[in-house]
Amino acid sequence: MSNFSLEHKAFLRKRKKEKIIVISFQILILLVFIIGWELLAKFNLINTFLLSSPSLVLNTLVNLFTDNDLFIHIGITLYETIVSFLIVTIISLLISTFLWFSKRLANILDPYLTVLNSLPKVALGPLIIIWVGASTNSIIFMALLISLFLSIINVYHDFKETDQNYITLLKSLGANKYQIFMKVVIPYNLSNIINNLKINVSMCYIGL
């Protein structure tokens, strides 16, 4: 028992040491990047008008905070991110579910989803402003365009790749398609759905 306890303590020390090393290098890389960026800007090796510098970014943040504008901008960005994320998540899950239930519909829409996902959405920015208007709606619409089709493709692909052994087993027990979806497909892909939600957040933010 004591040997196991000593081994366990050694394992915990090793894991803690590894964690400290990883975090230290992460911080070091960040510091090197910031210092290098600042030095390049200070010696005019980069165009600060295009690439800015850490000191200029810090000054801008201080000015925004002083003028009470910082948290207003943060609040608006969070609102737009949350709204676009929720819309993308709901629509992508619903459409992916419909596609899983209807293989024919999935085959029909597959090339269109691929084409829509490959469209240069940023290039459509001026048209989106004309269609929707220069407002929060156009920003959310851009976020939807960038993330929605990718999300649908990813979620449906995960649904489609569910282990067929589980599905065959439930079919042999007389389960219908709805029961298979709720008892097998959703639980089997729960981690994939969560990972896709993480991607949705980042893609919506990029869209904003």
Give the CATH number, domain containing residue 130.
Answer: 1.10.3720.10
Q: Are 98 and 161 in a shared domain? A: yes
What's the longest Cα–Cα distance across the chain?
74
Rounded Cα gap, residues 88 and 84, in angstroms: 6
Q: Are 90 and 1 in a shared domain? A: no
Tell me what pLDDT residue 13 has.
Answer: 86
Q: Are 43 and 93 in a shared domain? A: no
Per-residue confidence band for 152, with pLDDT thresholds at 50, 70 and 90: very high
Q: Are 104 and 153 in a shared domain? A: yes
Per-residue pLDDT tens digits for 120-136: 877 787 888 888 877 88
pTM (predicted TM-score): 0.74
Q: Are 118 and 149 in a shared domain? A: yes
Helix axes 2-42, 54-66, angle to 10 degrees: 90
Could you give the C-alpha distances from 125 to 85, 86, 128, 143, in angstroms and in order?
Answer: 19, 22, 5, 11
Residue 200's Cα: distance from chain center in Å? 4
Q: Are 59 and 77 in a shared domain? A: no
Rounded Cα gap, residues 203 and 147, in angstroms: 5
- pLDDT exceeds 50 at position 1: no
Tell me what pLDDT residue 3 has.
Answer: 53
- pLDDT exceeds 50 at position 16: yes
- pLDDT exceeds 80 at position 175: yes
Tell me what pLDDT residue 70 has.
Answer: 84
Q: Are 75 and 36 in a shared domain? A: no
**The domain boundary residue, chosen from 51, 67, 83:** 67
Query: Chain-wide mean pLDDT for the chain?
Result: 88
Rounded Cα gap, residues 189 and 159, in angstroms: 7
Structural domain harbouring 23: 1-67
**The domain boundary residue, chosen from 22, 47, 67:** 67
Per-residue pLDDT tens digits for 84-102: 999 999 999 999 999 999 9
- pLDDT exceeds 60 at position 77: yes
Tell me what pLDDT residue 127 has.
Answer: 82
Q: Are 35 and 118 in a shared domain? A: no
Tell me what pLDDT residue 89 has.
Answer: 92
SS3 120: coil
Q: Are 124 and 100 in a shared domain? A: yes
Per-residue confidence band for 38, with pLDDT thresholds at 50, 70 and 90: very high
**The domain boundary residue, chosen from 15, 42, 67:** 67
Q: Are 22 and 78 in a shared domain? A: no
Q: Are 78 and 53 in a shared domain? A: no
SS3 36: helix
117 touches 150 (CB < 8 A): yes
Q: Are 178 and 84 in a shared domain? A: yes
| Percent of the chain whose pLDDT exceeds 70 | 98
Q: Which amino acid is at 194?
A: I
- pLDDT exceeds 50 at position 140: yes
Determine the average pLDDT of the residues in 179-207.
89
Rounded Cα gap, residues 42 and 53, in angstroms: 8
Q: Which amino acid is at 109?
A: L
Number of domains in the chain: 2
Higher pLDDT, 58 or 1: 58
